[in-house]
Amino acid sequence: MKITTIQEKNFEIAVVNSNEVLIMDVQSALDFMATVRYETSCDRIILNKSAIIEDFFDLKTRLAGEVLQKFINYKVKVAIIGDFSIYPSKSLKDFIYESNNRKDIFFVLDEKQAVEKLSVD
């Protein structure tokens, strides 16, 4: 896992790049948040969807809800970058739509969109 930070407006955002899956369950999500916060002091994170286990995107597993609730509880905003159109699930599309219209969790296509979403209070 490589973590870099970028400054946008008054916000410092951690950009995490990894060739391995970092979030497999709730505990690994908590460990991930703690590591990023310890190494960067950032509470805004950009993460590629390939760093998240595929089960996350199957809402029947409830993993997405459980993991993202931890991000909200710990006041960590996250933007997940990737192509989500590959998933046929209407429930997932609705979940992504609802998330993107709130303030804490975003599913976006690229880093530029992620920075835009995370650099707003």
Determine if the pTM surpasses 0.75. yes
Give tens-digit pLDDT for 100-119.
999 999 999 999 999 999 99
Q: What is the pLDDT of residue 119?
A: 96
User: To the nearest whole number, what is the mean pLDDT of the chain?
Assistant: 97
Residue pair 83/118 in contact by the 8 Å Cβ criterion: no
Say if residues 33 and 64 touch (Cβ distance below 8 Å). no
For residue range 68-95, what is the model confidence (pLDDT) as tens digits?
999 999 999 999 999 999 999 999 999 9
**Second CATH level (architecture) for the domain 2-114:** 2-Layer Sandwich (3.30)
> Can you tell me the distance from the alpha carbon of 33 to that of 84, in angstroms, rounded to the nearest whole number?
23
Q: For 8-36, write each residue's pLDDT tens digit.
A: 999 999 999 999 999 999 999 999 999 99
Give the per-residue pLDDT at 121: 84
